[in-house]
Amino acid sequence: MKVVVAPDSFKESLGATEVSAALAEGVIAACPSASVDLCPMADGGDGTVEAMVTATGGQFLTADVYDPVGREIRARFGLLGEPAGTPLPGQVGLSAARTLADGEGTPATGPGRTTAVVEMAAASGLALLAPDMRDPLRTTTYGTGLLILAAMDAGADTVIVGIGGSATVDGGCGCAQALGVSFVDVDGKPSVCGLAGGGLARIGRIDASRRDDRLARMRIRVACDVTNPLLGPNGAAAVYGPQKGATPDGVAQLEDGLEHLAEIIRRDLALDVTALVGGGAAGGLGAGLVAFAQATLEPGLGVVAEAVGLARRLLDADLCITGEGKLDAQSAAGKTTVGVADIARATSVPVICIPGQTTADAPSHLFADVRPLAAEEVSKRLAMQQTAPLLKRRAKEAVATFMRRA
């Protein structure tokens, strides 16, 4: 029996790689002869680099960049390998998964074959700042641009950018500066390097003449897990500004700045970014990458699933196991578990979901079985404290039941 294990991370508990290994141990406990193909997943948010590099046998790299307030930090990114697509038998598979998680493996190389994955959260993320330092009027995505440059320097001709967890509302202008785009303020002077949300309203014009030449040959794919537009009540400033430390007055200033930026982009680059689905993601970085790096915005799960070869790996599978921290009504709106179930359905592979917890409105009908960690005698608190052993236990129970029914 071949089992594809394709979970997301369990936030505040375990990363997707660790979740995959725990689930695989449960599979082997129930069926020692099973072949387990570990394929940790993500949707473009935190953990995307780890999941994709691990699932493809790639390589982790680091780059010296700047955090949202200009402090020097070292950030991790990855080069993807070739999706294995072949089952890993028993404990051999678990050992291989842990080796890949430690950063070993061979990246895909050669013309048209080198794909890098970066997370903006690694350079421009909210988690990098203490609460009293969170202010999108002065935070920038400049470090994310440096991370993209590092990926290009490493030989990538395709860069996947996960844009969850940002600390910024700068419309991607800081990132653009790192990529060689210049901004001139209303007084005719160069804008400060590391342009932040508070400086957008003073942009006078955009000069893209010295943008990195490699961008014309690159494919930049933005793995985006939200659909918010750049402007308006559902836009970057109104929805995400307060989460990043903006006051009501700050939100109004950010909205005015983004509206002004959109007008300058329309005038100087002949592009309307206000109608982009997902343009408001990561404080407008979604729109900025489209405008300044010719990127495409794509549903995060789809980008990840394609890159790791999930559909191909399911072709000869007998069972798929997925999971995430919480299975609820929002899971049907692009979250990993439902996305994996949709892909598996195309190849008639049954899917078991093992989430941390479920709610009454969860789309449980999409799965052959749902086994939450927090159930019966297990409280939510206990589930978060003993996630790995409970994942193994639930997977063992689910696979044993599946085999009896088969």
Q: How confident is the model at residue 334 (pLDDT cuts 50, 70, 90)?
A: confident
Over residues 285-304, the pLDDT tens digits come to 999 999 999 999 999 999 99
Each residue of 117-153: pLDDT tens digit? 999 999 999 999 999 999 999 999 999 999 999 999 9
For residue 161, give the CATH number of its domain: 3.90.1510.10
Would you state the pLDDT for residue 83? 67
Residues 224 and 330 in one domain: no
The predicted structure's pLDDT at residue 99: 31
For residue 206, what is the enclosing H or E element?
strand 203-207
Q: Is 11 exposed, middle or buried (0-12, 13-18, 19+ CB in 10 A)?
A: middle
Q: Is the pLDDT of residue 85 over 80?
A: no
Is the pLDDT at 105 greater than 50, yes or no?
A: no
Poorest-pLDDT segment among 87-91, 183-187, 375-379, 390-394: 87-91
Structure tokens at 318: 């007998």
Domain closes at, from 301, 336, 368: 301
Phi-psi map region of 152: left, alpha, beta (phi>0 left; psi -120 to 50 alpha): alpha
Return the top range by mean pLDDT from 99-113, 276-290, 328-342: 276-290
What is d(CA 109, CA 140) in angstroms, rounded to the nearest whole number? 32
Long-range CB pairs of 61-67 (<8 Å, 24+ gap) are 61/150, 61/154, 63/146, 63/147, 63/150, 65/123, 65/143, 65/144, 65/146, 65/147, 65/150, 66/123, 66/140, 66/142, 66/143, 66/146, 66/194, 67/123, 67/124, 67/128, 67/129, 67/143
Going by C-alpha positions, the residue among 165, 139, 135, 153 that lies closest to residue 45 is 165
Are residues 280 and 133 part of one domain?
Answer: yes
**Tens digits of per-residue pLDDT, 10-59?**
988 899 999 999 999 999 999 999 999 999 999 888 889 999 999 999 99
Q: Which of 160, 153, 194, 192 is nearest to 298 (CA)?
A: 160
- Cα(257)–Cα(198) distance, integer angstroms: 7
What confidence score (pLDDT) does residue 12 get? 81
The per-residue pLDDT for 113 is 66
Parallel, antiparallel, or unpaired: how do β-strands 326-327 and 369-370 relate?
unpaired
Bridge partners of residue 2, in order along the sequence: 35
For residue 103, what pLDDT band results from cuts at 50, 70 and 90?
A: very low
Tally of structural domains, the chain? 2
Q: Which two tokens stand for residue 90?
A: 């028993």
Q: What is the pLDDT of residue 333?
A: 76
Confidence of residue 237 (pLDDT cuts 50, 70, 90): very high
CA 223 to chain centre: 6
Q: Is residue 126 domain-shared with residue 256, that is, in the same domain? A: yes
CB proximity list for 328: less than 8 A, separation 6 or greater: 358, 359, 361, 362
Cα–Cα distance for residue pair 91/175, rounded to 1 Å: 43
Q: Where among 280, 301, 322 does a domain terminate? A: 301
At 398, the pLDDT band (50, 70, 90 cuts) reads: very high
Of 256, 271, 301, which closes a domain? 301
The parent domain of residue 221 ranges over 48-301
What is the pLDDT of the chain when averaged over all its residues? 91
Percentage with pLDDT > 70 across the chain: 92
Do residues 111 and 241 share a domain? yes
* CATH number of the structural domain spanning residue 342: 3.40.50.10350
Structural contact between residues 193 and 177, judged by C-beta atoms closer than 8 angstroms: yes
Strand 88-89 with 35-38, pairing: antiparallel
Does the pLDDT at position 93 exceed 60?
A: no
Q: Give the distance, in angstroms, between the CA of residue 17 and the centroid of all CA atoms in the same chain.
A: 14
Distances in Å between the Cα of 235 and the Cα atoms of 14, 111, 241, 284, 289 are 31, 39, 9, 8, 16
Whether residues 140 and 244 fall in one domain:
yes
Tell me what pLDDT residue 43 has.
87
pLDDT band at 406 (very low <50, low <70, confident <90, very high): confident
Residue 219: half-sphere exposure toward Cβ, Cα within 13 Å = 13
Q: What is the pLDDT of residue 46?
A: 84
Do 128 and 272 fall within a single domain? yes
320 shares a domain with 297: no
pLDDT at residue 228, as a whole number: 94
Place 91 in a pLDDT band, splitting at 50, 70 and 90. Answer: very low
In this predicted structure, the answer to whether residue 64 has a pLDDT above a threshold of 60 is yes
Q: Indicate whether 274 and 334 sit together in one domain.
A: no
The answer to whether the beta carbons of residues 176 and 273 sit under 8 Å apart is: no
pLDDT recorded at residue 383:
93
- pLDDT of 226: 86
388-394 mean pLDDT: 97
- What is the predicted pLDDT for the residue at 44? 86
Distance CA 129, CA 136 (A): 11
Q: Are residues 322 and 257 in the same domain?
A: no
Q: Cβ(4)–Cβ(317) under 8 Å? A: yes
Does residue 281 have a pLDDT over 60? yes
In this structure, the answer to whether residues 161 and 22 fall within a common structural domain is no
Angle, helices 16-30/90-101, rounded to nearest 10 degrees: 170
Mean pLDDT of 337-352: 95
Q: How far apart are CA 172 and CA 176, in angstroms?
A: 6
Mean pLDDT of 207-213: 96
Verify that 237 and 321 share a domain, yes or no.
no
Same domain, 319 and 292: no
Q: What is the DSSP string of 24-91?
A: HHHHHHH-TT-EEEE-----SSTTHHHHHHHHHT-EEEEEEEE-TTS-EEEEEEEE------S-EEHH
